[in-house]
Amino acid sequence: QKEVEQNSGPLSVPEGAIASLNCTYSDRGSQSFFWYRQYSGKSPELIMFIYSNGDKEDGRFTAQLNKASQYVSLLIRDSQPSDSATYLCAVRNYKLTFGKGTLLTVNP
Amino acid sequence: SAVISQKPSRDICQRGTSLTIQCQVDSQVTMMFWYRQQPGQSLTLIATANQGSEATYESGFVIDKFPISRPNLTFSTLTVSNMSPEDSSIYLCSVTDLDGRNTEAFFGQGTRLTVV
């Protein structure tokens, strides 16, 4: 059973702080790694993807991948109340497998 | 990214009936998928919709319950058959283009189904 594990949260951070979201996966053959944001009642929205070990930055978001540790993380700098959502980690080895998501709340 | 139109956006159905959900993409895509998201849960892959051949179903999902069509590279349908309240869920169409390393998946807006 290929699994993707996330802390369900809720993770609560003050506005302007760094939010750190973590994800581990079991399938060592996984090749692509994604972070989706899902607002309540909406469909998932892709915010970051990463294929290689290391860091990838896009605006306030940084994705980090460590394949040896089977670990993916997402950092959100200068968190805003509009970042409050569920963040889904997804891992691909042919098909996408999703974690259950971490609920992030950014408090004004 | 591809623009995905899914309809209906929501529906309330009687148990024992069937509902067909449509997914239309604004460009040809290699892969189309159907997911289910039950209340408070993450996304579970139902099947891969294959163009011109039978869909590939994941464990726990069968064609009789979730027949899928994909007549071309831009369109697919998912039917939820003989519905029961346990089928109440959000159903999502997803597409991806396995073109080199461009393997991001994008989602339609989803169909919120309530079975009464």
Q: Kindly report, residue by residue over B48-78, the tens digit of the pLDDT.
A: 998 888 899 999 999 999 999 999 999 999 9
Closest CA in chain B for residue A88: B42
Q: Is B14 exposed, middle or buried (0-12, 13-18, 19+ CB in 10 A)?
A: exposed
The pLDDT of residue A108 is above 90? yes
In the numeric block, which tokens belong to residue A54?
A: 């290391």
Task: State the CB neighbour count (10 A cutoff) for residue A57.
Answer: 12
pLDDT at A9: 83
* C-beta of residue A3 within 8 angstroms of C-beta of residue A96: no
- Identify all chain A residues contacting B112, using CB atoms and an 8 Å cutoff: 41
The pLDDT of residue A62 is above 50? yes
What percentage of chain A reaches a pLDDT higher than 90? 81
The pLDDT of residue A48 is above 60? yes
CA distance A17 to chain B (A): 26
pLDDT at B68: 97
Closest CA to A5 of A85, A66, A55, A73: A73
Per DSSP, the residues of A61-89 read: EEEEEETTTTEEEEEESS--GGG-EEEEE
Residue B37 has φ and ψ, to the nearest 5°, of -125, 105
Task: State the CB neighbour count (10 A cutoff) for residue A26.
Answer: 13
Question: Can you tell me the mean pLDDT for A51-72?
Answer: 96
Question: Cβ A43–B1 below 8 Å, yes or no?
Answer: no
B100 confidence band (pLDDT: 50, 70, 90): very low
Mean pLDDT is lowest, of A93-107, B60-74, B82-96, for A93-107
CA A97 to chain centre: 13
Place of tokens 């999703």: A98
Q: B7-47, pLDDT tens digit by residue?
A: 999 999 999 999 999 999 998 888 899 999 998 888 999 99
pLDDT at B17: 98
Question: Cβ B105–A98 below 8 Å, yes or no?
Answer: no
Question: Can you tell me the mean pLDDT for A65-90?
Answer: 97
The pLDDT of residue A98 is above 60? yes
Query: Residue A19 and residue B29: Cα distance in Å, rounded?
Result: 34
Please enumerate residues of B whose Cβ is less than 8 A from a Cβ of A: 1, 33, 41-45, 48, 90, 92, 94, 101, 103-110, 112
| CA neighbours closer than 13 Å in the CB half-sphere of residue B81 | 9
Torsion angle (degrees, nearest 10) of CA B72, A90, B19, B14:
180
Return the residue in A96, A100, A102, A103 with the most chain B beta carbons within 10 A, the one to mutate for interface testing.
Answer: A96
Question: Can you tell me the mean pLDDT for B96-110?
Answer: 72
pLDDT at A1: 65
Question: Can you tell me the mean pLDDT for A48-66?
Answer: 95
The pLDDT of residue A23 is above 90? yes
B99 confidence band (pLDDT: 50, 70, 90): low
